[in-house]
Chain A
Amino acid sequence: MAERFTRAQVEHVAMLARLELDEAEIELFARQLGEILDYAVQVQQIDTTGVPPTASVVTGHAADRPDEVLPCLDRRDALANAPDAATDRGLFKVPRVIG
């Protein structure tokens, strides 16, 4: 039987993920996340004593390079897709945070 997430747990994760969830989504995810993680229990049963984690399969080639200044994205282009920007001043705009 799948372990059910509590409403508070789902809301906590949603806060960390910056997601506004409605009532139906909280219900749905409480059930589905439990089911998916239940299925993942088989991973926890595998003996991994002394096994190093794989974060990346890349081995053997260093990504080091000289620290040179190269051309990059034009500021106007970088701001062109912003939902709200002060293009002339080179700024992205966001809702007021400080009272």
Chain B
Amino acid sequence: MTRPGTISEVREAIRRGDRSAVEVCEEALTRIRAYDPALHAFNTVTELQARERAAALDRDPARKAALPLAGVPVAVKDVLCTRGIRTTASSRILESFVPPFDATAVERLEAAGAIIVGKTNCDEFAMGSSTENSAFGPTRNPWDRDRIPGGSSGGSAVAVSAGLCSFALGSDTGGSIRQPAALCGIVGLKPTYGRVSRYGLLAFGSSLDNVGPLTRSVADAARVLSAIAGHDPADATSAPHSVPDYAEALTGDVRGKRIGVPARLVDQGVEPEISKAFKAALDALRSRGASVVEIELPNAGAAIPVYYLVATAEASSNLARYDGVRYGFRATLEGPPRGGHHLKDDLLKMYGRTRAQGFGPEVKRRIMLGTYVLSHGYYDAYYLKAQQVRTLIRRDYETAFNRVDVVAMPTTPTPAFKIGEKVSDPLQMYLEDIFTVSANLAGLPAISVPCGFTTTNLPIGMQLMGRMFDEQTLFDVADAYERDVDWLRREPPL
């Protein structure tokens, strides 16, 4: 069964007339039918809409030739609103929610000609690092189906890794694009905060949330970013900076680029095989003319607790909207309460029971934690304090970027772990994000690129972080590295 190929491959085939948009679309749909029952990357497959849009492109050759993503099959994480297509956040509370509008990133992809083939599974409301927190069941890693694909954008990563589409959109609040990309052997980009509009992204932590691509090449990630980035009047935090053609500007030249490595952080708790692959990647960049410099990030150790205080506080506020009134699930008040005698009148009872039945355990845990840290008497000790340390973490990076052009580290401390291994210990699961949360706290762009495999054939990722709005340097360094290695040409056993 043919893989639909990377964005470059699909565009080349369509331009040459080797394949029609409908043929490419059918290839993706055929692979989804064949492989997704075992992988569960998708919550919804939009077969009919995809065929119609592909056929419309084939009937309009001028448009098909001109649009940068024309005919390219894409999967969209189920936290991005798609008009007329169910958008669930992998939660019971939104199980039958059909948005009346498109997220801006989705609208821009479609305007660029991409064909949405479905909505991908994720941790409920993007809260998790394994995609096990989905109300609809876990997604499996195509490299080893007993293992998690990472999360929260696990379905998007698997759809791309298994070749069920050419690329996918994900969201990243603390590593949710980069970590699954690393664990599934593909490229994942978290853009600078504000680079891509968050309009239509179901909000989790509003000061941390980003929309970004998961792809099978660095150049593809650059192409997608050029299509979806840019100011949007519907998102007051979206940046007015102009959007370059990132892919066009790639040179493969990293001579003179300075790569900072926080050695002290990287030496702690990283599995030896990951450490080895990461060091080999640095050597490859050195041999292309980059220099590697040791840097200090003195507050990096506090990033996880700061992140979980800030993110849960914002989440508890954002998720207050799911109350069974305006959209989503509403519980009935028949039957005895499960508890909650503290909820007095019928309206309060309806809220309490709707949320009890609609949310899964991790979402409840984070709402509880966030509500607590924002509550009277604890705000200063937890939330305000965390925001102050967030400032210190930002300053660490500002200082580092005076000396270096990118900061490099492994994306994850371990390769993909077994399904069920960490579900009963939330703190262990949170520690999975040790290398990724800082980019969200500091608003910096960060990319994960494959940098090897373990002896048991599990993918390993390297993360590169850059200055705000300097995605170009990230793409340049990552693309130069990718030219030396063949990790992205390996395919998982299906």
A residues neighboring B (CB under 8 Å): 10-23, 25-26, 29, 32-33, 35-37, 39-40, 42-44, 46, 48, 51-58, 61, 63, 65, 73-74, 77-78, 80-84, 92, 94-97
Contact = CB atoms under 8 A, between A and B. Distances in A.
Contacts of A25: 339, 361, 364
Given A21-B338, A53-B384, A95-B350, 8 more contacts: A17-B316, A20-B340, A22-B338, A33-B368, A43-B386, A53-B388, A83-B329, A95-B347
A42 B352 contact: no
12 contacts: A21-B364, A39-B305, A46-B389, A51-B392, A54-B390, A54-B441, A56-B207, A57-B194, A57-B442, A81-B97, A82-B327, A83-B327
Interface stretch (B125-133, B217-225, B318-326): B318-326
Contact of B340 (A21, A73, A74): A21
Contact of B372 (A33, A84, A95): A33
Contact of B352 (A20, A39, A43): A20
Nearest to A48: B388
B contacts with A: majority SS: helix
| Residue among A13, A19, A22, A40 with most chain B CB within 10 A | A19
Given A19-B352, A53-B384, A80-B100, A32 B365 contact: yes
B340 A43 contact: no
A23 to B, nearest CB: 6
A80 B339 CA distance: 31
A4 B299 CA distance: 27
A46 B302 contact: yes
A81 B356 contact: no
Contacts of B390: 53-54
Nearest to A20: B340
A72 to B, nearest CB: 10
B27 to A, nearest CB: 34
A42 B389 CA distance: 11
B240 A61 contact: yes
Contacts of A78: 100, 326
B236 A63 contact: yes
Given A13-B375, A21-B340, A73-B100, A43 B368 contact: no
A58 B352 contact: no
B389 A94 contact: no
Q: Give the top 7 A-B pairs by smallest Cβ distance, nearest first.
A: A57-B443, A20-B340, A53-B387, A83-B330, A81-B327, A20-B352, A63-B236
Interface string B348-379: 11111101100101001101110110010000
Contacts, number: 184
A96 B326 CA distance: 16
B293 interface: no
Nearest to A53: B387
B337 A29 contact: no
Nearest to A11: B342
A33 B63 CA distance: 55
B372 A13 contact: yes
A46 B387 CA distance: 12
A43 B390 CA distance: 10
Given A17-B367, A57-B207, A57-B442, A52 B427 contact: no
Given A61-B239, A94-B347, A81 B98 contact: yes
Given A21-B356, A36-B308, A97-B347, A63 B388 contact: no
A84 to B, nearest CB: 7
Interface in B276-322: 299, 301-302, 304-306, 308-309, 316, 320
B328 A83 contact: yes
Contact of A80 (B98, B342, B353, B361): B98
A33 B304 CA distance: 15
Contacts of A52: 388, 391
Contacts of A92: 325-326
B443 A19 contact: no
A92 B430 CA distance: 38
B356 A35 contact: no
Contacts of B361: 25
Interface in B196-253: 207, 233, 236-237, 239-240
A42 B309 CA distance: 12
